[in-house]
Amino acid sequence: RDYAATLAERNSRHLAAIPEYLEFTARLEEAVGAVEIVFGHNDLLAANILDDGDRLWLIDWDYAGFNSPLFDLGGLASNNGLDGPAERRMLEQYYQAPLTDILFHRYHAMKCASLLRETMWSMVSELTSSLDVDYAAYTAENLTRFRRAYADFVNT
C-alpha cells in the first residue's frame, strides 16, 4: 500500500492500474489469513544468496523485517524458478510436516503477494532510482510473472 501511495503521489504511468493492484492485494490478504510472524529477509533474489562451497550466505538485508515466513518462501520460489515439486519439498522441509492443501493455497497467495510487491517496487524504482537499470523492463517482466502466478492461484 505504501508503494501504491508513492506511485499516486508521483503521478506514475501505472496510476490507472493501482486500484486493480489494491484489489489483488485485498484478495490475497484474505486468502493468506492469519500468519505467524518471523524475522524475514524479504528479498530472496538469486543475487542475494551466495554459496561459498561450504554454506549459503544471505546478503543485502535492506528489506529485512517482521513478516510471514510464507512471504520469504514464496519469494524464494518465484525469484529462483522453483517448480511445483520443488516448492512442495521446500514447504515440507521448512514446516517439517506433510504439506496440506490449505497451507499450499495460503502459500500460493503469499507467493503472488511477493511477486506483486516486487512489481510495485520496480514501478517506484522507475520514478526514484538513479541507477542505470531498465526498471520499465523489470516491471513488465515481474507483472507478467505476477499475472501468471495469480491466474494459477485462482485456478487452484
Domain ranges within the chain, ordered by starting residue? 2-154
User: pLDDT tens per residue, the chain (156 residues)?
Assistant: 799 999 999 999 999 999 999 999 999 999 999 999 999 999 999 999 999 999 999 999 999 999 999 999 999 999 999 999 999 999 999 999 999 999 999 999 999 999 999 999 999 999 999 999 999 999 999 999 999 999 999 997
**Residue 109: which H helix or E strand, with range?**
helix 101-128
pLDDT of residue 9: 95
DSSP 46: G
Q: What is the CATH number of domain 2-154?
A: 3.90.1200.10
Residue 152 grid cell: 494459477
